Chain A
Amino acid sequence: KAGVTQTPRYLIKTRGQQVTLSCSPISGHRSVSWYQQTPGQGLQFLFEYFSETQRNKGNFPGRFSGRQFSNSRSEMNVSTLELGDSALYLCASSLVPTDYGYTFGSGTRLTVV
């Protein structure tokens, strides 16, 4: 069965621009969580979605937003990009929120210049 699909794999953006990242979970999985990974901070929680509802939000500024569609696909958006937003953005898929045996996608590597 197909895994978690994240697109695009790589992005280079300029400061001040905005970006949208996409995640398609494993078929049948309804819970999607997003994490930001940097060498200094490790994996930092961004959002968790289940049945199109945001259940949890991490400690990130309002420039970071997300949503989930009826087919469980999720998108996250970062507006007014800053250099510090350069990171690997990982999407994790699970059946339901209480299932922490996450399957991660390959990630989107965002570079802000």
Chain B
Amino acid sequence: QKEVEQNSGPLSVPEGAIASLNCTYSDRVSQSFFWYRQYSGKSPELIMSIYSNGDKEDGRFTAQLNKASQYVSLLIRDSQPSDSATYLCAVNANSGNTPLVFGKGTRLSVIA
């Protein structure tokens, strides 16, 4: 059973701080990695994707991937109260042939 593990939180950070969200996965052949954000009562929305080792930046968001350690993270700089949500890590093992597997999510709370 392919697994994606996340700390459920809540992770509380003060406004303006860096929020660091972590995710580990069990299937070593995983190729595609995604971060989705889900506000309470809403459906998930894609915020970042990463496919290669290293960092990928998009505005205040940075995704980091380390395939050797089977670890992917999301950094949110200058955190805002509007970033308060559940962040879901999703992993695909074999592009096109297996479904996206989601972690249970980390709840982030940004305190003003």
B43 near A: Cβ within 8 Å?
yes
Question: Is the Cβ of A98 less than 8 Å from the Cβ of B46?
Answer: no
Question: Is the Cβ of A45 less than 8 Å from the Cβ of B99?
Answer: yes
Using known A-B contacts A100-B34, A101-B46, A104-B43, determine if residue A43 contacts B102 with beta carbons closer than 8 Å.
yes
Nearest neighbor of B42 in chain A, beta-carbon distance? A106
Question: Is the Cβ of A90 less than 8 Å from the Cβ of B49?
Answer: no
CB-CB under 8 A from A104, the residues of chain B are: 43-45
Question: Is the Cβ of A101 less than 8 Å from the Cβ of B49?
Answer: yes
B62 near A: Cβ within 8 Å?
no
Chain B residues 5 to 19 lying within 8 A of chain A, measured CB to CB, are none
A22 near B: Cβ within 8 Å?
no
CB-CB under 8 A from A60, the residues of chain B are: none
Question: Is the Cβ of B99 less than 8 Å from the Cβ of A90?
Answer: no
Using known A-B contacts A42-B104, A42-B105, A101-B49, determine if residue A90 contacts B96 with beta carbons closer than 8 Å.
no
A97 near B: Cβ within 8 Å?
yes
A41 near B: Cβ within 8 Å?
yes
Q: How far is the CB of B74 from chain A (nearest CB, A)?
A: 16
CB-CB under 8 A from A102, the residues of chain B are: 36, 44, 46, 100
A107 near B: Cβ within 8 Å?
yes
Question: Is the Cβ of B46 less than 8 Å from the Cβ of A43?
Answer: no
CB-CB under 8 A from B96, the residues of chain A are: 97-98
Cβ-neighbour of B103 out of A35, A42, A56 (below 8 A): A42
Q: Which residues of B contact A (CB under 8 A)?
A: 32, 34, 36, 42-46, 49, 88, 90, 92, 95-105
In the A-B complex, the 5 residue pairs with the smallest Cβ-Cβ separation, listed nearest first, are: A42-B104, A43-B102, A104-B43, A98-B96, A45-B99
